[in-house]
Structure 1
Amino acid sequence: MSIASPFFEALIGKAVSHVWRGHGSAIFVEFGTLTAHTRKDKTQGQAFGELSLMIQWSWRIERPKSILGGSWSPEARWPGMFEKLKGATVSEVQLYGQLPEICVSLSNGLRLTSFMTAEGQPEWALIALQPKIGSLCVKRGSLCVEPPNL
């Protein structure tokens, strides 16, 4: 059993409930039931799902036979691409490459993939808030599980 198995098992069958842009080209894909988030200053933050996939940069959304778009697409196209992910459920999760990158396949035929194009490590994390099993990420070229923030 891989250290990724509990994360992937928790993700399978979950619907994409929210997609939002972080800093720069970072995206967050929220899966499952959303929970509202209020910041310390009492303003409303982004809602988060039971599981969240963060891809810091270099990502793309694939159709079955072409690329719908990605982090290098015109930013004006991003909201429309994100909408196409919403409501679809996760059918498969895979890791690929010598340095682990992630690919999430959805019930509507789309796939979301990470692929780092700069020096360093792949910059993605699968964060599990329900179940509270921590975060799956890449450190020093290998998968790593960071404990949950309690």
Structure 2
Amino acid sequence: MQLATPFTEAILGKTVSHVWRGHRSALFLEFGMLTPRTKRNGDPGNACGQISLMIEWGWRIERPRSILGGCWSEEKRWPGMFKQLLGSKVDGVEFIGRLPEIVVLLSNGLRVVSFMPAEGQPQWTLLAHSPALGDLSVKRGRLYLDPPQPAFPHIGEIR
């Protein structure tokens, strides 16, 4: 888990600044100061935090003794669940299981947990934008670091 140490150190104490839904049930949590982004068509995109957590489709939000909801909950409940994450601080990050899933422990007692319910690998990524640490994910059953890429002219632009 030494590979994860720079990421866990960078995210500790950061505030959940923005939560948004990607394609289908993908969940994005943005931590720390936000940077606005613009889509290629000129419309505003979702802001990007100093660190982002993307969970592609298997996720849930846990209370201390029950599940608040998750990717299989009614979609109309999602905005209320996401709102409960906003403003909380990261108290810890854990990696659980033989194939590492990520658990983000928040100051309000909630936990955001990834879980992959299908074949393949866990489908989550921690993206460190500032500091530029690269991306942490799982490949071949182990934590994998994709090193930082050089900045591109369209850094604030998304598709």
Fold shared per TM-score above 0.5? yes
Q: For residue 10 of structure 2, what is the amino acid of its counterpart?
A: A
* SS of residue in 2 equivalent to 1:144: strand
Deviation digits for residues 72-91 of structure 1 (CA, Å, limit 9, x no counterpart): 00000000000000000000
Take 2:80 and 2:44, find their aligned partners in 1: how far apart are those partners? 23
* Pair 1:123-2:127 in alignment: no
Cα deviation, 1:17-70, whole Å, max 9, x if unaligned, reads 000000010010000000000122222111010000000011000000100000
Q: Aligned to 2:82, what secondary structure does the other structure show?
A: helix
Report what 1:53 is aligned to. Answer: 53
Return the alpha-carbon distance in structure 1 between the equivalents of residues 14 and 146 of structure 2: 22
* 3-state SS of paired residue (1:113): strand
Structure 2: which 5+ runs fail to align?
152-159
Aligned residue number for residue 2 of structure 1: 2
SS in 2 for 1:6: helix
- Residue of structure 1 equivalent to 2:86: 86
Identity of aligned residues (%): 60
RMSD: 0.8
Partner Cα separation in structure 1 for residue 44 and residue 109 of structure 2: 33
How many residue pairs end up in the alignment? 150
Residue-by-residue CA offset, 1:79-137 (whole Å, 9 max, x unaligned): 00000000000001000000000000000000000010000000000000010010000
Equivalent residue letter for 1:9: E
Partner of 2:156: none
Distance, in Å, in 2 between the alignment partners of 1:63 and 1:135 is: 28
In 2, the alpha carbon distance for the partners of 1:24 and 1:123 equals 14
More displaced stretch, 88-97 vs 42-51: 42-51
Which stretches of structure 1, 4 residues or more, deviate above 2 A after TM superposition? none
Question: Structure 1: which 5+ runs fail to align?
Answer: none
2: CA distance, partners of 1:96 / 1:48: 26
SS of aligned partner of 1:53: strand
